Amino acid sequence: MGASSNLSCRLGVFQDGFAAALIAPAMLADLALDAPPEIARLVAQPGFAVYRNTVLKGCIDALQANYPSVSRLVGDEWFREAAAIYARANLPRQPSLLDYGSDFAAFLAAFEPAADLPYLAGVARLDRFWTEAHVARDEIPLAAAAVAEFAAADLARVALRPHAAARWAWFEDEPIATIWERNRTGKALLDAEEGVAPDLDWRAEGVLVTRPRGAVAWTPLGKGGCAFLDACATGGALADAVMAALDADPQADLAALMALTLDAGAFGRIAFDDGDPQETLR
């Protein structure tokens, strides 16, 4: 048992050292471990540099594919330099690179060269929303008729559960949703070097990203709508979600909000918020 445990530990040390050497040999000193001599011999091989460059390029390419709006916004050169810095500190943890860079938005928020682009992290967040919606499990969107059949007295215990693919966010200071959409679709680009587009209304915005009918879609969502979905996501009853929407935006049109979210496929099921799992239904 001791020999097996020692072998496992040794293998783990080798794997950590090998992974670090692939991205940057200098990282070996930060691992606080004695790297096996095999690692040093590998790094010394001329061919290992080619392998390292291939791995790094693969990481950068994956980030650029996962964050197309960010790449379009800042340009290819800027993006790939930033992605290289990210990749050297963040190796892929899964075989599939579709999920690679899940925290890239947080990286950009703290990235000093992006300090003059306060909207960049928000754009990255929406690119991530698109990917998450795209790969979310299949779920039949809740139809409006399923909600309409409940009497007003039932609303205190009826809860709407967000669809598995639904993602939403409210951006208080910048028109992130518009910037993201323009760069995602290429309709009218916002160039990071030349500044904002002249027709861009610099105001707060929200957006709902869903995949109701097999394809990712998005729709503008007000502050009240985002608060409404936040309350639904935490398991609150419909009546509580309505109050949350009105607290966030006293002028919210609740009928229009319900119609918009249901039509967008924001919900996956109805549940009764009374602690009885037997009463959960589609």
Whether residues 148 and 222 fall in one domain: yes
CA–CA gap between residue 102 and residue 129 (Å, rounded)? 10
130-151 pLDDT, tens per residue?
999 999 999 999 998 888 887 7
Q: Which residue has better confidence, 185 or 11? A: 185
225-248 pLDDT, tens per residue?
999 999 999 998 998 999 999 999
Average pLDDT in the chain: 82
- Is the separation of the CB atoms in 210 and 246 below 8 Å? no
Q: Grade residue 4 by pLDDT with cuts at 50, 70 and 90.
A: low
User: What is the reported pLDDT for 155?
Assistant: 73
Q: Which residues contact 277 (CB under 8 A, 6 or more apart)?
A: none
Count of domains in the chain? 2
Establish if 124 belongs to a structural domain: no
Domain interval for residue 86: 2-117
CA–CA gap between residue 105 and residue 120 (Å, rounded)? 8
| Residue 122 predicted with pLDDT over 90 | yes
21-71 pLDDT, tens per residue?
665 554 444 444 455 666 556 665 565 554 556 778 999 999 999 999 999
Whether residues 206 and 273 fall in one domain: yes
Whether residues 10 and 104 fall in one domain: yes
Whole-model pTM: value is 0.80
Establish if 199 belongs to a structural domain: yes
- C-alpha 267: how far from its chain's center? 19
Establish if 222 belongs to a structural domain: yes
Q: Which residues contact 143 (CB under 8 A, 6 or more apart)?
A: 262
